[in-house]
Amino acid sequence: MVFEGLADRLQQTIQRIRGKGKVTEEDVNEMMREVRLALLEADVNFKVVKDFVKRVKERAVGQEVMKSLTPGQQVIKVVQEELTELMGGTQSKIAVSNRPPTVIMMVGLQGAGKTTTTGKLSNLLRKKYNRKPLLVAADIYRPAAIKQLETLGKQLNIPVFSLGDQVSPVEIAKQAIEKAKEEHYDYVLIDTAGRLHIDEALMNELKEMKEISNPDEIFLVVDAMTGQDAVNVAQSFNEQLGVTGAILTKLDGDTRGGAALSIKAVTNIPIKFVGMGEKLDQLEDFHPERMASRILGMGDVLTLIEKAQATVDQEKAKELEEKMRTMTFTFDDFLEQLAQVRKLGPLDELISMLPGANKIKGLKDLKIDEKQIKHVEAIIQSMTKEEKIHPEIINASRKKRIAKGSGRPVQEVNRLLKQFEDMKKMFKQMTSMNMKGKKKGFKF
Ligand code: GDP
């Protein structure tokens, strides 16, 4: 997972200051030394780190923090706000032309994920934004690019405009936009030529394409795994072409996150979307504030909720939430929730979005596969009604009986009971955090 190293280090550092009733300038300096190292190790641009540390320090030793009743928490709030600001402050939304179609030019170096991302973006536009997109195959140089886009289009059931590789890209774009106007498409996504390196021929072609198609957005697709190189690529493209947004791909990989944290600050190009995997639904809107929360271990409940809204049975979800809130959550609900959660995606990814989840031992590494779920079901089904509601009555002899009934070892029954307890603890923590947050007016 991206940012894992950075997140771990930052969280350890801020943990030390969190509960402090008094924070001295020396405390802040010490913390910021650690933060500085953590950011540099995450491959964040040197100058960006320097400015960031300076800003946080200025604010953190200022009156607003030192005089407050919870200076430790205030310092963390400053870090979170500045981290959010670094990544662009608020979400930068995709343009909508008032004279449709909205034209988007997709640019980037070969291998960055441009063609895949073009497909993913059309899927997101249709699914989340209810738009009608047209894909345009204008990368006539990379031999497989046209075929690749056509295959993506077929998979997604989204039309692809192509004239083969013998017509100039500019002509392809022109005709595609005409067609889009006639047939009332909302968005035209042009997959332009990529190259291995930035060269004059590429830039000239892209400039011509820009002139002819008059795009509302020029999205640069960059590979987050390339760290500072991604930032340099963005800078060159921006200087020569003018880029309106960056899409960072491969953020699911083992990247340190430097590109995500530097691009906006260095080039002023906002990050609009992030690629979180190879699958066609793994492109997400980029929210600086949510990303900052994730990095600081405060979770990303909003994204989790959005995911849930798209997949989960709303009525059941409401019932479950009520039960969590009132602590009347039983093993039957646990089963029900397992079924719902499985629809959402990999569990470890979901857990990483929960606030403080990484601090609960065992939860971070919890992986559930189909077989294990069957075992869990068998164990729960071997419990009596009363045991499901009040698991605390399950003593040694009851455990033995449940183990026998489900055909699973007693240790497994123990493990499940322990996990259930941990889960309840977490709900409790979340509920009390929410209440506190509401009272104070911010989210801690
Ligand atoms: P292009 O040359 O820029 O058009 O690159 P492609 O679209 O062909 O993508 C190159 C490779 O990157 C393909 O194997 C994609 O599946 C992969 N890829 C693209 N986006 C992501 C992403 O967000 N996560 C991961 N893990 N792989 C990605």
Q: Is the pLDDT of residue 231 over 80?
A: yes
- Closest ligand 1 atom to residue 282 Cα is 23
**CB of 115 sitting under 6 A from ligand 1:** yes
Q: Is 113 in the pocket of ligand 1 (CB under 6 A)?
A: yes
User: Whose CA is closest to 307, among 354, 344, 353, 347?
Assistant: 344
Please state, for a pLDDT cut of 90, what percent of the chain lies above it.
54
- Decide: 258 in ligand 1 pocket, CB within 6 A: no
From the CA of 110, how far away is ligand 1's center (Å)? 9
Tokens 């083992």 locate to 254
Q: Is the pLDDT of residue 300 over 80?
A: no
In angstroms, the Cα distances linking 368 to 100, 242, 345, 416 are 46, 46, 11, 12
- Does 119 sit in the ligand 1 pocket, CB within 6 Å? no
Q: Which of 156, 222, 248, 249 to mutate to test the pocket of ligand 1 (most atoms within 8 A of CB)?
A: 249
pLDDT at 11: 80
Q: What is the pLDDT of residues 384-405, one digit of tens each?
A: 999 999 999 999 999 999 999 9
Question: What is the position in ligand 1's atom list of the atom closest to the CA of 108?
Answer: 3
Which ligand 1 atom is at minimum distance from the Cα of 116? Answer: 7
What is the C-alpha to C-alpha distance for residues 443 and 202, in angstroms, rounded to an integer?
47
Per-residue pLDDT of 15-29, as tens digits, reads 788 777 788 888 889
In this prediction, residues 335-347 reach a mean pLDDT of 72
| Residue 80 is assigned to a ligand binding site | no
CA 387 to chain CA mean position, Å: 39
- What is the residue whose two structure tokens read 């979180």? 276
Within 13 A of 210's CA, how many CA atoms are on the CB side? 18
pTM of the model: 0.74
More confident residue, 68 or 105: 105
Task: State how far the Cα of 229 lies from the Cα of 245, in Å rounded to an integer.
Answer: 17
Ligand 1 center–CA 440 separation, angstroms? 43
Would the annotation count 112 as a binding residue? yes
**CB burial string 297-318: b at 16+ within 10 A, e below:** bbbbbebbebbbeeebeeeebe
Q: What is the helix, strand, coil percentage profile of the chain, to 5?
A: 60, 10, 30
CA dihedral 28→31→32→35, nearest 10 degrees, is -160
Atom of ligand 1 nearest to the CA of 275: 23
Tell me: pLDDT of 282 over 50: yes
Q: What is the pLDDT of residue 387?
A: 94
Report whether residue 151 contacts ligand 1, using a CB cutoff of 6 Å.
Answer: no
